[in-house]
Structure 1
Amino acid sequence: MSIFNAYMALSGAYDADVTRDERLSHHTTYRIGGPAALFVKVNSYPALLKTIEILGREGVDWVVLGKGSNILAADRGYDGCVIVLGREFSRISFDGSEVTAGAGATIARLVSETLSHSLSGLECLVGIPGTVGGAVSMDAGTRHEWIGARVKDVVTLRPGEGLHRYAGSDIEWGYRYTDIPTSEIILEATFALVPDEKAAIAERMEALVARRRLRQPLGKPSCGSVFRNPGSRSVGQLIDSCGLKGYSVGGACVSDMHANFIVNNGGARAADVIAVMSRVHDTVLDKYGIDLVPEVKCLGFGA
């Protein structure tokens, strides 16, 4: 693997911004993470293709990162290349009651623009940080509504093969899961929405935001929910019943507001978060026999 050769080749890439040793703490909502060996913001499809080609030729591992809202990056960083989808992948367009959004568009902007067009169906996303690509890949939403229910189709890039279009009905959607291969890069998605009164849509959004403000520690850096709910049970309630609210290691702490949030109280390291996660996992397993599955994705920890 040659990071240097990849850096030199990528530095000449059209429509791409390339840096070395970019701290991932600047690109995750946890505000945690060491440097990425390479960090590339690609602003066009040709730039993305060229970047993937060069990284493959040089044997450099890579990962696509949105807003880092569901990521715990290692303290030592990531020894591959982090790719961020820029300008061309952030477009949003409307055709009647359908909206097509690039994977790099933020969820906040998508929700705002659908509201301005008086289109209903994506209210469940309001207040969720991140990008469209990340939301589609993990079927984001609430416990009762998910983005997948509104997806008409998804366009991905299969490295070495080219573009592929999935009909929404061909994708297996599950709780924080889709069967879109992780080897493919989501480029855009089209959503089938329903016209409605703007005031009614706004009222539903405001109610959901209000509930989140009351129940979630939105004022502190976090990755959102750390563990998946086991079936119909609330993992937050399980953790709370184990007396773990307020449990901390270093700067990482189980939130007093919502036990399935581990917040960064300041200066937290990834190792601190992992230690808290381990304690929570083992305690719930011992008390209830439930093997909690992380919802947060880890980057740079290796084998």
Structure 2
Amino acid sequence: MFRGSMVALVTPMLEDESIDYMSLEKLVEFHIASGTDAIVAVGTTGESATLDMQEHCEVVKFVVDKVNKRIPVIAGTGANSTTEAIELTQCAKEAGADACLLVTPYYNKPTQEGLYLHYKKIAETVDIPQILYNVPGRTACDLLPETVIRLAKIKNIIGIKEATGDISRITQIKAGVSDEFDLYTGDDATAVDFILAGGHGGISVTANVTPKLLHEVYFAALEGDAEKARRLDAPLEGLHRDLFVEANPIPVKWALAEMGLIGHAIRLPMTQLSEKYHAVVRAAMQQAGVV
């Protein structure tokens, strides 16, 4: 359903830690003008873990309303409680989101059968396209290819964001799913190789900072032009690496603040980027041509 560069959008905040809706609207317009192919609202990069239920739903609705169908909006609605994930997914459907992105239940370490039943129940309860999201480095929970293949048989589970950085995963999953099942990377550093191996795009942190160029990178890869994709991606290698010198979204929010797109605020327990990393992230931004 979705192709290309999908930004894992930050949630800008004011110094009192409330949502900065003025800056959020500015970001939406920035991405639409820059050719971003879809916006993912309130995912990991959007500080979903620190927004309460009401804020979560309000941010999704705000982004959907401001985008106004110009590009797709995918709402992050995963939770480690199946009931809460259903509530968030229903909220996103009512807000008019085009699809939902559901991270694996974090912290409680379900079995593969538990993961299957978790996603199955959400999909059967809320009739909206749903994308699985596997990021074991953040969740301590790995959604294995064989479980993905089982889930792909459920009508409204349409794809997966696979963020392990393991390119062999795409081969394993593709072998057991239909051609209609979408494969997105969540690992910026390996995104070009992922798409060249048959992926359909990426849900990206780097896209917050360089949306226009990353759109061009991903579409070159989608067209099978490996040389062009790698050449265009080369200046972004520093960002792919250094936007993770501290836990996401700390570095990317600092970078966007340096670009004048948002303020520096972030919500505890996340903190602002350590001063020792300022020069590191700034150098990566300079390499990418954004400062």
* Normalised TM-score (structure 1): 0.29
More helix by share: 2
Instruction: Name the structure with the higher strand share.
Output: 1
Give 1 or 2 for the bigger CA radius of gyration: 1
TM-score normalized by structure 2? 0.30
